[in-house]
Chains A and B, each alone.
Chain A
Amino acid sequence: MSDPMDPMTEIRASFFIECEELLEALQDGLTQLEEGGGDSETINVVFRAVHSIKGGAGAFGLEALVRFAHRYETVLDEVRSNRFSPDHEALKLFFQAADHLSDLVRACRDDQPLPEETSTALLDELDMLLGDTVEEEVAPQEFTPLGVSLELPDLDLPSDLPAIPAWQVRFKPAFELYETGNEPQMLLRNLCELGAAVVTCDTGALPGLVDLKPETPYLAWTIRLEAEVDEAEIRGIFEFVEGLCELEVSSFSPDASDTAPTAAPAAAPSSPVAEVIPLPPAPVATSDTAPSPTSDAATQRAGGLGIASAKSVVRVDLERIERLVNLVGELVINQAMLSQSLESAGLSPHSDAMNGLEEFQRLTRDIQDSVMMIRAQPVKSLFQRMSRIVREASAAVDKEVRLVTEGEATEVDKTVIERLADPLTHMIRNAVDHGLESAELRAAAGKPAEGQVRLTAAHRSGRVVIEVADDGGGINRPKVLEIAVAKGLVPGDVTLSDNEIDNLLFLPGFSTAGKVSNLSGRGVGMDVVKTSIQQLGGRISITSERNRGTTFTISLPLTLAVLDGMVVDVAGETLVLPLNVVVETLSLGRDDVQMLRPGAHVVRVRGGFVPIYDLGAMLGYRATRSDYSGCIVLLISLDDGSRAALVIDGIQDQRQVVIKGLDDSFYRAPGIAAATILGDGQIALILDPADIIAGAGPIRGPDRSLMEKRVEHG
């Protein structure tokens, strides 16, 4: 098993991948059943998923997994055959069993110790569920390992019989034997392989040619066999035709020879057409052509697994894809450099070279998209994991919670999905624990007892937006503010907008829970969630409405590798802004800008006011300008719907840039998301506008927040 080239290892790995798919199907099916949807095929799918896991597990000798899957399957079979119809509680148990099954699968995969205790507890519950509906506790006989019941001659059993025992076998096929594709000749040949045999064919029943019905069996055979075998072995050969023929096996001894069976000679003495077929006692070369597969499997692997399959899916090592992604990244940079040098060489934009370059650019982009598509995966698996979190979390705090998911097919970069699991888990736990009220409070507010957590994913303007929304009581803002002041996170006399108060939740060291509950309050706060999201190039925002609930919105880039950027000049530095936040560019006139107070300006955009942020000053490149007239500003729109005007000195270009993460040795500079290499080989920083604005925002300077408030209302 340790040899990576061993085909069994490969199949084992493939089995666990298949298990993941089956577990997903299982979850889906159960969810459908729970929602009242689903038909008979749904329960079939659920059943088959567990059944297939059991089947594969058996093949790899994963007994604990087989045991659990088997009992689980037994219960599901009752549902499938309409002998048991699961209620809410039963479905809950089914979900738990599914969760446990996936634990077992993973434990088996990773060679971890198995959670046997949970198995036993769950199995007991499953058994209780059925109560008396299945009287006979299904005998475990169904699972004798290697359960082929063929008895084979290679057993070499010690035998009490004389040196070479002789057997007499009488065999008369019935009509059905032929119907099932069995062939007497094969059976006889197999029998003859056991030892020295003399086969006599009894043609007594054969009618005349006129009366002969070709599909009716007329023949019977008597075989005298001298072989070191026992009766079971002989009968084993006829295992498949048991009940489809008359079969007599008796020990043949010389003194019993005349009493030995056969009604045949007596029945047809007048037809001595008996035919004696001498067959060679040795096998006709079967054992030679059938080498032990275990010894040969490894050596023949190359030819072994390459047989055409109906649908072709290639499983590729992630590392190879990473390499491809990196290479494509280099290609993009290279292409940008080439295009720059061609331009600086003074080529006409209509020259062949430039036209060719344009084509090249398009192809590069296509390649890039295709490569990214390889890495993209639907968020479904992630969402399914969350449904388990909800089940466990709601059980822990004793609340009835239902998870509603939407947009499961939304595809996101694999790495993003993997790294979203932890923050999302935390948010879901938070929603269940803190977001939703207790059943009593819900009843008092006129809400259904069952709380709801919505998890949705969607593509929105080149980003993936994931929302976690609860229909709980909303954020208790006075309390949040009180805590923040008590913890010294904000000054006591601060005046904050609702949105600003909500955002206090993201401050390090903030925790609303009065006491640490056993669920979410483990010292990991929303600040950690925010940091993980930011590390993915994403942003998180929060909206809340009293008594209606709280919604966390995560906005992520589709990919971590490239970005459509706007390359700008600020105080002699070249910077890149994500293009998707830029709504429009404006050139400021004297009358466009209004000063609220020194250092706080707004720009009038079609009747509304948008706060101005001077990038050069905010990034520390130069002092704040006193006069903005004549400046270029980028009007940007953020995920929370707010807008801002960023002052820059000039726009260089719009182009795709390859994101190069900043090394960990850099401390996290506010407002800087990553870096890139431009066409001329120059390194430019990629900005995170939302972070810049948040950094300049209200929490550090309450007066600015006042300004924003006024602007919002303006």
Chain B
Amino acid sequence: MKITVLAVDDSRTMRDMIRLALTPAGFSVHVAEDGVDGLEVLEGLEPDAIITDINMPRMDGFGFIDAVRSQEDHRATPILVLTTESAPELKMRARSAGATGWIVKPFDPAKLIKALQMVTG
């Protein structure tokens, strides 16, 4: 069964990279440009996992995770944070917002896939 992933990142390059990494591996990838956009795309979509950046305009990753977690449908959806930040306090912030995992950019496609498979089963 195809794993559906929503990738939220304000960088087009990053979105392309994620898509390029995941699509050939059999994932179905949806993208959004920031938190606000992400929530819009999420409506009517039931992704098996969400990948999100932290630094984004309009609504950043923390706000996005928070908003996703507050929705009954997505309370248990795995959310991977994909960002260049690796500061432990930011990691903790993301976790307390409800992030499932943390991957530091630049990412290795194989590892992203592995991580997604780990959280989606």
Contacts and interface: CB of A to CB of B under 8 A. Distances in A.
Interface of A: 7-8, 10-11, 14-15, 18, 41, 44-45, 47-48, 51-52, 54-56, 58-59, 61, 141-150, 152, 176, 178-183, 185-187, 189-190, 237, 239-240, 243-244, 286, 289-294, 296-297, 299-300, 303-305, 307-311
A52 B56 CA distance: 9
Secondary structure at the A interface, as helix, strand, loop or mixed, is helix
A290 B117 contact: yes
B19 A304 contact: yes
Given A51-B55, A55-B84, A181-B79, A297 B31 contact: no
Given A148-B115, A307-B30, A179 B98 contact: yes
Contact of A293 (B24, B78, B103, B105): B24
Contacts of B99: 180-181
Contacts of A309: 15, 31
B16 A14 contact: yes
A558 to B, nearest CB: 30
Q: Which of B14, B23, B102, B120 has the most CB of A within 10 A?
A: B23
Nearest to A240: B101
Contact of B57 (A45, A292, A308, A311): A45
Contacts of B119: 181-183, 186, 240
A180 B65 CA distance: 10
Interface in B77-117: 77-79, 84-87, 95, 98-115, 117
Contacts of B37: 310
Contact of A186 (B14, B107, B113, B121): B121
Contacts of B42: none
Contacts, number: 181
A145 B106 contact: yes
A296 B24 contact: yes
A297 B24 CA distance: 6
Contacts of A146: 106-108, 111
A143 B113 CA distance: 21
A178 B115 CA distance: 17
A142 B98 CA distance: 23
B8 to A, nearest CB: 11
Contact of B86 (A141, A152, A180, A294): A141
A33 B116 CA distance: 41
13 contacts: A11-B16, A11-B17, A14-B13, A15-B13, A18-B11, A148-B103, A152-B110, A181-B77, A181-B99, A183-B76, A240-B102, A307-B30, A310-B41
Contacts of B78: 181-183
A18 B56 CA distance: 15
Given A55-B105, A181-B98, A240-B100, A293 B13 contact: no
Given A183-B121, A307-B19, 11 more contacts: A11-B20, A52-B55, A58-B106, A61-B106, A142-B85, A146-B106, A147-B105, A147-B107, A180-B79, A182-B100, A293-B20
**The 8 residue pairs across chains A and B that have the minimum distance between CB atoms:** A147-B104, A58-B106, A240-B101, A15-B13, A148-B111, A56-B13, A300-B24, A181-B100
Contact of A11 (B10, B13, B57, B69): B13
B13 A310 contact: no
B106 A304 contact: no
Q: Which of A48, A180, A308 has the most CB of B within 10 A?
A: A180
A237 B115 CA distance: 9
Contacts of B19: 304-305, 307
B24 A150 contact: no
